[in-house]
Amino acid sequence: SGSHHWLFGDQLGPHFVDPARGGPHRDAPLLMIEARSVFRRRRFHRAKAHLILSAMRHRAAELGDRVTYVKADTYREGLREAVGDKPGAPVTVHHPTSHAARAFVDSLPFVRVLPARGFFVTHDEFKVWADGHGTKHLRQEDFYRWVRQTHDLLMEGDQPAGGRWNLDHDNREPPPKDAADLGVPAPYHPRESEIDDEVRADLDRWERDGDVEFVGEDGPRGFPATRREALAALRRFVEHRLATFGAYEDAVLAEDMTMSHSLLSSSLNLGLLDPAECVERAEARWRSGEVPLNSAEGFVRQIAGWREYVWHVYWYFGTTYRTSNTLRHRAPLPDWFTELSPDGTDANCLTHALKQVRETGWTHHIPRLMILGSYALQRGWEPRAVTDWFHRSFVDGYDWVMVPNVVGMSQYADGGRMTTKPYTSGGAYIDRMSDLCGPCRFKPSVRVGEDACPFTAGYWNFLHRHRDRFEHNARMSQAVRGLDRLRDLDELLEQERGRRD
């Protein structure tokens, strides 16, 4: 048939070309467009640009003659080049992953949009669930339980495996004394191919020509670019790393910033892995007695709970959600932060997190939420700019996943539509959950003066600034009342006013 099926750069796995799952006809010709304007719009981390291009080109090499691979300036130009302005047969495409891309494909009369792939729940099913829960406040926990039941994940009949839905209290261990005590083998690391050499040469040339600018280091590619690599990474994770995932999920170690995390987010978001296969394998390891329930449940929760929830929140809350700014934060990001330069701060936790982002384009959840994001929130940086920063700087950053995670979860800019309270803390939390405070020149217990921890001072300053809003929040009111006990509050506020970062 003459009808093309178009694959976006984050639709690279077999489930995007499967006729049995609503995909294109078995021998429909495929189309991929590498649009350089995407990289011009934002100053991306170079490792991210590298990963995406490498993954697309590896996929094209696998598909061989079946795919038309167009390098163009924009998607529109690419389409024109491949199928012309008025193709005789419709071009099909699976539901893309951003509002902008969705609007674009909807604007093309010859494009027919097929259902989204790579998620458990459909848009319609989510809408029914969410409408039944009131649109003001949705809760991930309720959603997650519903997904577990309806998709039979870690269930024993109609009860959760082990009798409890939530094992989070087993999964908040502080880190072991040193990285060796964790006893976890290193994560999977891919080997580069000639395609990576070509990508690197192209990126060098674009930069030299002044066409595109990047931040961060493009060291040896650290994340899977092919289905085969992604499956190897998944296997290595469930066999060797999943057992210790749960207990230390929230912990951070300077010598091992990866700990037992899966590093699978970029593979999931490129569409190289289907979330269902990830959680099925984790569940199977628990059923065969090889990993404890808190680890299997913790991992299933991340994927079938959080990831799935974030995807649906992005569509359900619509296009205006991204500009929410309930706390009216307007400060710009400082240059050292946008440049990923750890030299801009003396806080050891921030230095470590920024350095890891610069070197790899990745940190695990806690550095994102409780170090980088929390800092931005306390400083009152503009949520849209913070979203843009995360989107550009992380290998796994895409619009759909960044907007809810940053606007909602991390910056509380939606006023609590997707979480119950702002995620931020003083230095004591970072001290408990990491080994980063010991060597730091600031002291987590000190809030005023030379040794004052910027997180501790920033936390009180933040609570003070938004006192009116949070004193009536059941999960925040006690913390807010703590302000009354600070005899040096005026001094602290003065100090924070003078802060220049």
Q: Does 390 bind ligand FAD (CB under 6 A)?
A: yes
Distance, CA of 365 to CA of 376 (rounded, Å) = 15
| CB nearer ligand FAD, residue 97 or residue 265 | 265
DSSP run (H or E) holding 249:
none
Instruction: Quote the least distance from Cβ 299 to ligand FAD, whole Å.
Output: 6
Task: Please tell me the number of Cα atoms within 13 Å of 364 on its side-chain side.
Answer: 19
Instruction: Quote the least distance from Cβ 113 to ligand FAD, whole Å.
Output: 23
Question: Both tokens of residue 440?
Answer: 């730091």
Residues 112-141 binding ligand FAD (CB under 6 A) are: none
Distance, CA of 444 to CA of 437 (rounded, Å) = 7
Answer whether 199's CB lies under 8 Å from 57's CB: yes
Answer whether 70's CB lies under 8 Å from 82's CB: yes
DSSP run (H or E) holding 160:
strand 159-160
| CB nearer ligand FAD, residue 265 or residue 461 | 265
Task: Please tell me the number of Cα atoms within 13 Å of 96 on its side-chain side.
Answer: 21
| CB nearer ligand FAD, residue 70 or residue 282 | 282
Q: Does 364 bind ligand FAD (CB under 6 A)?
A: yes
| CB nearer ligand FAD, residue 29 or residue 176 | 176
Distance, CA of 219 to CA of 167 (rounded, Å) = 37
Q: Of 446, 449, 451, 481, which Cα lies nearest the Cα of 464?
A: 481
Size of the site for ligand FAD (CB under 6 A): 27
Distance, CA of 26 to CA of 20 (rounded, Å) = 9
Residues 9-28 binding ligand FAD (CB under 6 A) are: none
Q: Out of 49, 182, 409, 453, name the contact with ligand FAD by CB under 6 A.
A: 409
Of 37-45, 175-183, 286-294, 406-414: span binding ligand FAD (CB under 6 A): 406-414
> In degrees rounded to 5, what are phi and psi of residue 483?
-60, -35
3-state secondary structure 301-320: HHHHHHHHHHHHHHHHCCCC
| CB nearer ligand FAD, residue 297 or residue 396 | 396
Distance, CA of 418 to CA of 412 (rounded, Å) = 9
Kindly provide the b/e burial profile for residues 310-326, where b requires at least 16 CB atoms within 10 angstroms of the residue's own CB.
bbbbbbbbeeebbebeb
Q: Out of 401, 440, 457, 480, name the contact with ligand FAD by CB under 6 A.
A: 401
Q: Out of 347, 354, 406, 452, name the contact with ligand FAD by CB under 6 A.
A: 406
Mask for 290-319, x = binds ligand FAD (CB under 6 A): ------------xx--xx--x---------
| CB nearer ligand FAD, residue 362 or residue 460 | 362
DSSP run (H or E) holding 159:
strand 159-160
| CB nearer ligand FAD, residue 83 or residue 264 | 264
Beta-strand pair 159-160/155-156: antiparallel
Residue with tokens 């998944």: 234
Instruction: Quote the least distance from Cβ 403 to ligand FAD, whole Å.
Output: 9
Q: Which amino acid is present at 430?
A: I
Residue 132 CB contacts under 8 Å (≥ 6 apart), including other chains:
none
Instruction: Quote the least distance from Cβ 180 to ligand FAD, whole Å.
Output: 20
Q: Does 365 bind ligand FAD (CB under 6 A)?
A: yes
Residues 258-297 binding ligand FAD (CB under 6 A) are: 261-265, 268-269
| CB nearer ligand FAD, residue 247 or residue 402 | 402
Q: Out of 97, 295, 348, 410, name the contact with ligand FAD by CB under 6 A.
A: 410
| CB nearer ligand FAD, residue 230 or residue 480 | 230
Instruction: Quote the least distance from Cβ 308 to ligand FAD, whole Å.
Output: 8
Q: Does 369 bind ligand FAD (CB under 6 A)?
A: yes
By CB under 6 A, name the binding residues for ligand FAD: 261-265, 268-269, 302-303, 306-307, 310, 364-365, 368-369, 373, 390, 394, 396-397, 401-402, 405-406, 409-410
